[in-house]
């Protein structure tokens, strides 16, 4: 099964903040905010997702928030793994 999801950038502050409109059928639309905060040599990445249209908005409750939180934690873990992947330069 192929999904026809679409994500559109609504706002971008390079190195600081990215706001996305994620259309995920059949659940509707969500606003995803990814924020970066410098912490010494490290960067804290925070991702917040809020349903804005469709069934996801109607069923927005503590249980669905917990599920989104778990999914977003996994997404951030994957992003961390990709960002920290090191490769040796070729000679």
pLDDT in tens, 44-64: 988 888 888 876 666 666 776
Helix, coil or strand: residue 5? coil
What residue ranges do the domains of the chain occupy?
A: 6-84
Beta strands in the chain (DSSP E): 6-13, 17-24, 28-39, 42-53
Sheet holding 6-13, edge to edge: 6-13, 17-24, 28-39, 42-53
pTM comes to 0.70
Q: Which fold has domain 6-84?
A: TATA-Binding Protein (3.30.310)
Backbone angles phi, psi at 34, to 5 degrees: -115, 120
Mean per-residue pLDDT over the chain, rounded? 80
Burial class (CB in 10 A: 0-12, 13-18, 19+), 51: buried
Q: Above 50 in pLDDT, residue 84?
A: yes
């Amino acid at each position: 099964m192929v999904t026809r999801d679409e994500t559109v950038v609504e706002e971008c502050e390079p190195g600081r903040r990215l706001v996305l409109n994620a259309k995920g059928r059949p659940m509707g639309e969500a606003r995803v905010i990814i924020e970066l905060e410098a912490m010494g040599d490290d960067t804290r990445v925070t991702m917040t997702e809020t349903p804005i249209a469709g069934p996801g908005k109607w069923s927005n409750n503590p249980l669905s928030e917990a599920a989104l939180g778990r999914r977003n934690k996994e997404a951030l873990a994957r992003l961390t793994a990709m960002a920290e992947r090191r490769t040796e330069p070729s000679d």
